[in-house]
């Protein structure tokens, strides 16, 4: 459970990794200029790595945009464990904070909570 997180956070993680990879590839591309100087070989290597880094950065922007659009339509509910508001995508997801597995499908739930109004009425009748 250490490496599991909510779906929205997973999308954001992949966006961040692609951003860091793209920046790293672009920095490595400047090594072509440092190793071969301003000759045509160094410039070609720098240009290739710069284009690959920019493609990675653009893909990460797309992933961040997609995660943002998914986040606007996500169902917001209160986590029963940590009592913080979290967003859930699909039928099952994890809490963004405590990583508890949450579900909206009663068939997949391990225990169905009892409604408080019924518990109070039953207690007052006894």
Q: Does any domain span residue 119?
A: no
Residues of the domain holding 57: 7-103
Q: What is the pLDDT of residue 111?
A: 66
Q: What is the pLDDT of residue 126?
A: 46
Average pLDDT of adjacent 10-residue blocks, the chain of 126 residues: 75 93 92 80 88 95 93 88 89 86 79 56 50
Q: What is the pLDDT of residue 26?
A: 93
User: Per-residue b/e over 38-47, b at no fewer than 16 CB within 10 Å?
Assistant: eeeebeebbe
Tokens representing residue 100 in the block: 């508890």
Q: Does any domain span residue 123?
A: no
Q: What is the pLDDT of residue 118?
A: 47
Q: What is the pLDDT of residue 92?
A: 84
Q: What is the pLDDT of residue 105?
A: 77
Q: Does any domain span residue 115?
A: no
Q: Does any domain span residue 70?
A: yes
Report the number of distinct structural domains present in the chain: 1
Q: Does any domain span residue 77?
A: yes
């Amino acid at each position: 459970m250490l490496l599991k997180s909510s779906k929205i956070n997973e999308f954001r993680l992949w966006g961040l990794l692609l951003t860091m990879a793209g920046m790293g590839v672009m920095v490595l591309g400047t090594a072509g200029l440092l190793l071969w100087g301003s000759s045509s070989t160094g410039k070609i290597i720098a240009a290739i790595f710069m284009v690959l880094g920019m493609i990675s950065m653009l893909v990460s922007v797309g992933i961040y945009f997609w995660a943002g659009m998914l986040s606007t339509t996500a169902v917001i509910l209160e986590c029963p464990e940590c009592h913080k508001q979290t967003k859930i995508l699909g039928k099952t997801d994890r809490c963004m904070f405590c990583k508890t597995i949450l579900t909206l499908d009663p068939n997949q739930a391990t225990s169905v909570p009892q409604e408080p109004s019924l518990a109070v009425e039953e207690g007052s009748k006894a």
